[in-house]
């Protein structure tokens, strides 16, 4: 009788886990406020906002993530709508990540609420892989005070992600190696990563509606018809996925953006939001020890046309003031053909050390050099960061933001609020 790979000692079977927190943002809100439990809770507010996530009670009415808030209110008029608390969500995400590292040295956080683990060869520590999955679920629930997650376990990465969605919420789905052919045969093409609506339509036009249909076409057909996308689909239909769990990938950029309740051409208002974004982006950069060189301004007009403009600085920076100045310079160069619906600010080029001859950073106030200005601003940013770390994010604000906040508060009290409907950070 032939021994299995595990029994023969050649090498253990590969196992990947995908851990997906159940309705993460909404579940945290219900955890922190027990009065919200059992209610159709929707994280997202504003006339133009979108749903970040919602509880399973709200999903029964057809509400789902990325849906406009207005449509969610129509489907679920008695729903409870709350604003997002992203710092709190990140805090809990870090707790979950810590739990996952107790089970595997190879953990890849795919997003704030989902992660991959390499569970290969860990049977000696945790028993059969399904028992490891159940132990992990219990550990997450205990560490977070009651939050649940769904776990998918499979021989390859993309199938683990698909499996985590098959037994939600609080489920576990194990796909064994010997069951892969039958599982793939029945798998809907829309569940395969990279197969969106347009790709599905193109496939349907060719009579390709299932995995067996994909496998019936030879490799040259897929390469000729769809190029890399076609070859990727063929490999997934064959159950092939060579990707490994990557414990940490440094971010290539940082950004923040805001969609407004009302469109505006008020440049002072827009610059105030650029300063807010520069504060948020700069603080995250400094917290992680990053510095970037290419500043990007993003504008979405009332008619939904989006424009981006970039500026390359003389040197890498994480300074709030430097980011703000660059964003303002880019905004000043725009004619604002229509009222603005959204404004965003980002920075990239973290590893860009190439010299530059001329930029915004070359001419600084007071006759000081760019390097001296950056050192002064770094000192100020460091002091503000430390005060916020000790006493909270609202402990200290720049004067320009304080004045604007006071003005907004006065308008709110008079019944004319001037507030954003949605903030987003990347």
Q: What is the Cα–Cα distance from 254 to 425, expressed in whole angstroms?
A: 8
**Structure-token pair, residue 97:** 């990540």
**Could you tell me whether strands 107-111 and 149-154 are parallel, antiparallel, or unpaired per DSSP bridges?**
unpaired
Q: Write the CA distances from 122 to 15, 178, 304, integer angstroms.
A: 9, 20, 50
Q: What is the rounded CA–CA span in Å between residue 222 and residue 212?
A: 14
Whether 321 sits among the annotated catalytic residues: the reply is: no
Name the active-site residue from 114, 254, 325, 374.
Answer: 114
For CA atoms 360, 366, 372, 377, the dihedral sign is negative
Q: In angstroms, rounded to a whole number, what is the distance separating the alpha carbons of residues 237 and 192?
A: 8
Q: Is 38 left (phi over 0), alpha (psi -120 to 50) or beta?
A: left
C-beta atoms surrounding 35 within 10 Å: 8
List of residues 6+ apart from 345 with CB closer than 8 A: 255, 256, 257, 274, 277, 278, 281, 295, 296, 297, 298, 323, 327
Q: Could you give the residue ranges of the DSSP H alpha helices within 33-173?
A: 56-59, 69-75, 86-101, 123-126, 129-144, 157-164
Catalytic residue numbers, as ranges:
114
């Amino acid at each position: 009788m032939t021994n299995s790979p595990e029994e023969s000692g050649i090498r253990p079977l590969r196992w990947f886990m995908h851990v997906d927190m159940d309705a993460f943002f909404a579940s945290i809100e219900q955890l922190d406020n027990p009065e919200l439990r059992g209610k159709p809770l929707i994280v997202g507010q504003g006339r133009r906002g979108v749903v970040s996530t919602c509880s399973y009670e709200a999903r029964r009415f057809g509400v789902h993530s990325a849906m406009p808030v207005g449509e969610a209110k129509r489907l679920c008029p008695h729903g409870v709508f709350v604003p997002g608390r992203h710092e709190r969500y990140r805090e809990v995400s870090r707790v979950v990540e810590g739990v996952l590292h107790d089970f595997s040295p190879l953990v890849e956080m795919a997003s704030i609420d989902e992660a991959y683990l390499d569970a290969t060869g860990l049977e000696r520590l945790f028993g059969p892989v399904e028992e490891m999955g159940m132990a992990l679920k219990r550990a997450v629930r205990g560490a977070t005070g009651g939050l649940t997650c769904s776990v998918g376990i499979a021989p390859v990465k993309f199938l683990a992600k698909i499996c985590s969605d098959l037994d939600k919420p609080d489920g576990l789905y194990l796909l064994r190696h010997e069951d892969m052919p039958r599982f793939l045969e029945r798998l809907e093409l829309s569940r395969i990563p990279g197969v969106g609506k347009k790709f599905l339509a193109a496939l349907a036009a060719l009579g390709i509606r299932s995995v067996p249909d994909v496998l019936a076409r030879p490799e040259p057909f897929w390469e000729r018809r769809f190029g890399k996308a076609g070859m990727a689909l063929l490999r997934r239909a064959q159950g092939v996925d060579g990707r490994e769990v990557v414990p940490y990938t440094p971010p290539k950029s940082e950004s923040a953006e805001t969609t407004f309740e009302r469109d505006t051409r008020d440049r002072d208002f827009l610059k105030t939001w650029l300063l807010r974004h520069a504060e948020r982006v700069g603080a995250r950069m400094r917290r992680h020890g990053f510095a970037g060189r290419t500043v990007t301004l993003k504008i979405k007009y009332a008619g939904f046309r989006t424009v981006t403009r970039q500026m390359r600085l003389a040197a890498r920076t994480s300074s709030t003031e430097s980011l703000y100045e660059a964003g303002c310079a880019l905004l000043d160069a725009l004619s604002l053909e229509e009222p603005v619906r959204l404004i965003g600010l980002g920075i990239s080029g973290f590893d860009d050390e190439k010299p530059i001859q001329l930029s915004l950073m070359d001419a600084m106030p007071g006759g000081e050099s760019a390097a001296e200005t950056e050192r002064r601003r770094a000192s100020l940013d460091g002091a503000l960061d430390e005060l916020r770390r000790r006493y909270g994010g609202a402990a200290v604000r720049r004067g320009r933001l304080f004045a604007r906040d006071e003005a907004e508060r006065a308008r709110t009290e008079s019944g004319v609020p001037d507030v954003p409907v949605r903030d987003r950070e990347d």
